[in-house]
Amino acid sequence: MDSIVRSGLLAVFAGALVAVLAFVPFVAISYRRRGGLTLWRSLLWAGAAVYFWAIWTYTLIPLPDSQVYTCAGTNLQPFAFVDDVRAAVAVSGRYLTDPVVLQVALNVILFVPLGFFLRVLGGRGIVVAGLAGFLASSLIETTQLTGAWGLFPCAYRVFDVDDLIANTGGALLGSLIAFTVPARHRGAAVAPDAEDPRPVTRRRRLLGIVCDVVGIWLVGFAVATMVQAVLAVLAGDAISSAASGPASVTGTVVSVTLWAVVVLVTGRSVGDLATRVRFTDGVLPRWIARPLRFATGAGAYVLLAALPNPWSLTSLMLALATAALFFVWRDGRGLTGWIGRRRLVDDRAGVVSPSVDGHDPLR
């Protein structure tokens, strides 16, 4: 039971990590392929990320203890589980709760989400689901048979051809179950109305802000990690801890510079580009409006946070953040739009996108 819990927690952690790393590209792709982002598909993709890791954690982990290692056998007889189930039920009399029956059922259930996700998120049919289930199960079984590709002297779990059959059947079943999802929510093809302008809502603006915050943090963290790794290799482990300061500064400089360049060149932040919104021309010229857009965005806050942090600077950051969120909540435009008297529009339209009832969706 402890190993099952650990495997589940590892899958959730790994899936969450993948979701964070892919967040900004996911938002950008969703707005370009489907016209927007829905909670339904977001949850499905997050679930798919967790499921991908769950397959591996539940089938390959825990790895055996090398001190008490025992080689496992193989079963190359197809449908041997039928006789095993018949014999087990004859002894226990339990058709649904016998461990042998549950083992077969779990092998089927484990791959049901694969076929479901392939149809709903990927738009792939039952043939692809069956092939994917067979190939994924084959890779898992082969990894077990080879002792994790030579990491162990022999198989540490039983190579069972019946597992291939059950897993493939689960993927096929999942593909059939996916038909219960309405057709408009299935498939990965570009939606017919993907280029139609959408209302620029407060939720959409907040999503853009989250994209900026997550994106700039990930870039800074990735750069800092690479710089620290390079310094550790060049100067030895003794300097690895002392290198964290320069590495962190480098990460901040690179990420802030990147965000500044994007804003100054396009007039929009990375979050604006991801969610496909832009500001109309207001009362300020571009050479003022674009630096102002950067100064009221995530890049400026990261830069302020990296400076020496007396109480006055902290107070300034809190004041700016509060004002920015207030104006985003008030009419969606934020400080940039309010100061420059600029309106937010969907970049797929030349004018402010109308709401369903014809009123300004930000009011």
**Arithmetic mean of pLDDT over the chain:** 82
Rounded distance, CA 4 to CA 164, Å? Answer: 21
C-alpha 25, offset from chain centre: 9
Q: Which two tokens stand for residue 49?
A: 């990320």
Percent of the chain topping pLDDT 70:
87
pLDDT bin (cut points 50, 70, 90) of residue 338 is confident
Who has greater pLDDT, 71 or 273?
Answer: 273
Residue 244: φ, ψ to 5°: -65, -35
pLDDT bin (cut points 50, 70, 90) of residue 68 is low
The arithmetic mean of pLDDT across residues 11-28, rounded, is 90
**164 within 8 A of 132, measured Cβ to Cβ:** no
- Rounded to two decimals, what is the model's pTM? 0.80
pLDDT bin (cut points 50, 70, 90) of residue 309 is low
pLDDT for 24 equals 95
Does the pLDDT value for residue 118 go beyond 80?
A: yes
Does the pLDDT value for residue 270 go beyond 80?
A: yes
Tell me the range of 93-102, 207-216, 289-298 where mean pLDDT is highest: 207-216
pLDDT bin (cut points 50, 70, 90) of residue 241 is low
How, if at all, do strands 159-160 and 277-279 pair? unpaired
pLDDT for 191 equals 80
pLDDT bin (cut points 50, 70, 90) of residue 321 is confident
| Sign of the dihedral through C-alpha 282, 283, 288, 293 | negative
Least confident of 113-117, 169-173, 337-341: 337-341
Does the pLDDT value for residue 308 go beyond 80?
A: no
pLDDT for 312 equals 54
* Pick from 362, 346, 304, 328: nearest CA to 31: 346
**247 within 8 A of 227, measured Cβ to Cβ:** yes
DSSP structure class, residue 225:
H
Strand partners, 74: 159
C-alpha 344, offset from chain centre: 28
R_g (Cα) of the chain, nearest Å: 27
Tell me the range of 1-10, 21-30, 286-295 where mean pLDDT is highest: 21-30
Does the pLDDT value for residue 202 go beyond 60?
A: yes
